[in-house]
A and B are shown apart, each in its own frame.
Chain A
């Protein structure tokens, strides 16, 4: 599998008032292969969305670079980025916001095709609706006439219009009921199989992630702390934070272990050493002073911990 997207030492900082700087993404390097599904997981505020948006050029990184198909796209002007935009698309959680309420969904889907001078627009819209499992006749209806699940299908259709190589989906199923969620999860699987489109899924739901992703990257306070094959990471977590996240998922078959202590520290003043040391149940003195780097740990896995749970 060849590399489609690569991030090198990405940093994303937000300047707050009073000279304070928020470190939303720190030193993230990762690769997404063609047709692959990578999931970014972690607690709210850990930088998943900031990373996702930086990866596809919706925001500029503070430093570091993003390569798409071997070309550097970070730092390009909006104009220079335009030809690449068609090849990377974003699917958002709030599925109602993406469509103009006063236009039929067919018109909205046709618009990017027209802007990019494509031909056979009607046929393409029909094809898209087929792909996302909606009747072709819905093209004549307005956004408010659709249920949450149907709107998410439309939203995916919109992202697919120009035939992208990569979708970045930010919490694509978290607003949906379980039964609808299952339909959309299946749809993403089908689309990846039939179109070969690569996906970066951002989600806080580990069972959804396990179902959707080939590989997962766990983030804590802006950095990747563990990365590897999805089933491997979730079945045998190597980083104490990954294990804590899994332990906190309520399940029918076992009582909840004692919760992780404390809240996520502020990304304005992240802790010294290992950023997880203030909450880590197995922290040692070294953890407070030495920051562990992301090191290989077994087959295709990387982990940033001085004392990983699996070797």
Chain B
């Protein structure tokens, strides 16, 4: 990977005060101009990882490293974290209603976000807001800025939230399921936008459960399972030739949009473990069809070929 990563997460662990471990050791990097897709089942720790980078998890104890632009964010004081948030690291969510107050126009809220980090007066801030909304493909952006969140369609609200997140040209954009609640037609517009943002040199971390979205919007992918990254690598490699049995099973379970229609879809037996009953060996072992005795020792995430890593005994040297 050569150059220093924009975001370098090493062995991130996250514990509840009662000692339960929610993240077991997450490691991945995001380079400038790259988009990393983070995929995995519900509860696998995708959002917790994102929130850790944002420093938005009061009450949980993080250990390991989250190095952003050379600075370790683990244990960084709130005040310094607040300076980074919004200015250099921004986040968008599945439900844009969580990002906007219902009682103020979206324009006023984006203006305010801009003025928090830049010395602009109201008029200048509004001009920038309107410009941003226009770039996001919002029709009649000056009018749209005057609207309240509930007066916009879901797709427009999502674009307004992205406009707000991009208002300070962040170096890293974290998007947690930004298109899950949207129609495919609107999703296609948002994915095109995310691509442009990346082309302009930001790093993107995109959480999704949709492999098609990963294929379209990401350069790299990390597959999470039960609080761990079990496989990661360049998107094309992982999707065309998944190595980890979990990644293989996940891809196989998607019904095909072309070709023969299978009688039955392949499924993964059982359910993911809760943090309390996570196996001490390979976390996927209870559901894995390749399980063998040496899976009882937790396999490390090792490099199998240039840029690809997998945590599975089948690929141990």
Q: How many residues of B contact A (CB 8 A)?
A: 43
User: Is A250 part of the binding interface, using a Cβ–Cβ cutoff of 8 Å?
Assistant: yes
Residues of the B chain whose Cβ atoms lie less than 8 Å from the Cβ of A208: 255
Check A250–B185 contact: CB distance below 8 A.
Answer: no
Q: Which residue of B lies closest to A241 (CB)?
A: B185
**10 shortest A-B CB distances, which residue pairs?**
A250-B212, A211-B255, A252-B215, A182-B265, A259-B188, A250-B216, A182-B253, A248-B184, A248-B188, A43-B183
Chain A to chain B contacts (Cβ below 8 Å), 18 pairs: A44-B154, A177-B209, A179-B267, A186-B264, A189-B263, A204-B183, A204-B184, A208-B255, A210-B255, A210-B257, A231-B261, A245-B185, A248-B185, A248-B188, A249-B184, A250-B212, A253-B215, A256-B192
List residues of chain A with CB under 8 Å of any chain B CB.
Answer: 43-44, 147-149, 177-179, 181-183, 185-186, 189, 204, 206-208, 210-211, 231, 234-235, 244-253, 255-256, 259-260, 262-264
Residues of the A chain whose Cβ atoms lie less than 8 Å from the Cβ of B264: 186, 189
Cα distance, A253 to B254, chains bound together (Å): 14
Residues of the A chain whose Cβ atoms lie less than 8 Å from the Cβ of B209: 177-178
Residues of the A chain whose Cβ atoms lie less than 8 Å from the Cβ of B183: 43-44, 204, 248
Check B42–A256 contact: CB distance below 8 A.
Answer: no
Residues of the B chain whose Cβ atoms lie less than 8 Å from the Cβ of A250: 184, 187-188, 191, 210, 212-213, 215-217
Check A248–B187 contact: CB distance below 8 A.
Answer: yes
Cα distance, A252 to B257, chains bound together (Å): 11
Cα distance, A256 to B213, chains bound together (Å): 10
Cα distance, A252 to B186, chains bound together (Å): 18
Answer whether A252 and B267 are a contact pair too, CB < 8 Å, given A43-B185, A181-B253, A260-B185: no
Interface majority SS (helix, strand, loop, mixed), chain A: helix
Q: Which residue of A lies closest to B208 (CB)?
A: A250
Answer whether A256 and B191 are a contact pair too, CB < 8 Å, given A250-B213, A250-B215: yes
Contact string against A for B residues 238-250, beta-carbon threshold 8 Å, 1 for contact and 0 otherwise: 0110000000011
A-B contact count (CB 8 A): 108
Residues of the B chain whose Cβ atoms lie less than 8 Å from the Cβ of A177: 41-42, 209
Q: Which residue of B lies closest to A186 (CB)?
A: B264
Residues of the A chain whose Cβ atoms lie less than 8 Å from the Cβ of B267: 179, 182-183, 186
List residues of chain B with CB under 8 Å of any chain A CB.
Answer: 41-42, 139, 153-156, 183-189, 191-192, 209-213, 215-217, 239-240, 249-250, 253-258, 261-268, 271
How close is B268's CB to chain A, nearest CB, in angstroms? 4
- From the candidates B239, B257, B268, name the one contacting A206 in the complex (CB within 8 A): B257
How close is B252's CB to chain A, nearest CB, in angstroms? 8
Check B189–A251 contact: CB distance below 8 A.
Answer: no
Among B186, B239, B264, B267, chain A packs the most CB atoms within 10 A around the CB of: B267
Check A185–B265 contact: CB distance below 8 A.
Answer: yes
Q: Which residue of B lies closest to A212 (CB)?
A: B255
Among B156, B185, B217, chain A packs the most CB atoms within 10 A around the CB of: B185
Check A179–B261 contact: CB distance below 8 A.
Answer: no
Answer whether A178 and B192 are a contact pair too, CB < 8 Å, given A260-B185, A263-B153: no
